[in-house]
Chain A
Amino acid sequence: MVTKPPRRVPEEAAATFEEITAAIEALTPGEWAKLRRYADYRTFCLGPKAEGRTGDDLLNTALTDLLEDTRRWNKVKVGFFRFLAGAITSISSNWAKSFKQAETPVTEADVLRTDVEGEVFSPLDSVPSRRPDPEQTRHQNQTLERIETLFKGDEKAQMVLMAWQEGCDPAGVRELWELSQNDYNTIVRRIRRRLDDAGMTAHLGRGGN
């Protein structure tokens, strides 16, 4: 994978406090719901690497990075919702990569870069993953087994889950299993809602109850 060069949003293009406040006020109910769910799912992705941090922490870190000028939002190029979603992805990825890296401790603010599109990337992206410790391995194995059990009688969900595990993107999954967009969307919703029902993803942002 090629890491993008560090191109920061120019200071004159970066949003001001007033613009940030106005953008928060202007988020729609659908965008708030998506941010809530996306931050929760990113926390779910982290598993034990979240180290007790929640979806709220992810969202607040994204905002604090913006206020502290660690990240810059170019409002002309990217909407505020997209900026926050991108920041959440980047922060959760950095949390995962810096998890227990005792030999090479890094703080997130030290390594983050934002390009002119407002997309944040990290040089840590090119750092190879460490060998997982036993606790992580057990968590990964148990989570995969639990998901497999949950969808035992649902052949279509199993097909999508398998393709995802192999790294297929949505278009690739649809092509692989000859699914229409509607069929795919229905299956994905079913997967999400069953995982929520099983308590694997829902409410993670508020402490994982």
Chain B
Amino acid sequence: MSVGNDAPGAWNRPPSGRAGLADPAPRVAFTAEQLAEARRLQSLYPDPRGALLPVLQMAQDAFGYISLPVEEYVAGLFNLSPAHVHEVVTFYTLFFREPKGRHVVAVCHNLSCHLAGAPEIVARLKARLGIEVGETTEDGKVTLQSVECLCACEHAPMMQVDDRYELGLTPEKVDRILEGLR
């Protein structure tokens, strides 16, 4: 779709025919509805740039992860340089810069969870999924992360599976949760 004035300026577009970073991927763009939502978000802040995190969150939902072309596209929506957006994207842990699994399993390894057996939980997840922390299973189903405090220490050890907190984990409970993922 056409994005009119929202297209990134020509200065940051790789010249046609040259293999630039953004070339191989198809052109990314929000739907008209998503674009309207991005503009609404921008209007909530005294400076539209305040909406950068929410719009990046939208972009991640829409495109699966934040690729360099997505960064460029979002930069265009804000009249920011792609470098600024890249700096922001790489600063925060919840932005994925490569494709993630259909499910993200983020197990807490901070102090209270550690005291309650988090290392055992991490070991169980690695063994069952056959991957290391930071990897995605070959079938693209699960990305495994080991993360800092998710602030549910009263139910340690715990982990986050997509939007849900899974509390009071045992190795057996981990197995059941993994089996329930489609």
Verify that A and B bind, or say they do not.
Answer: no
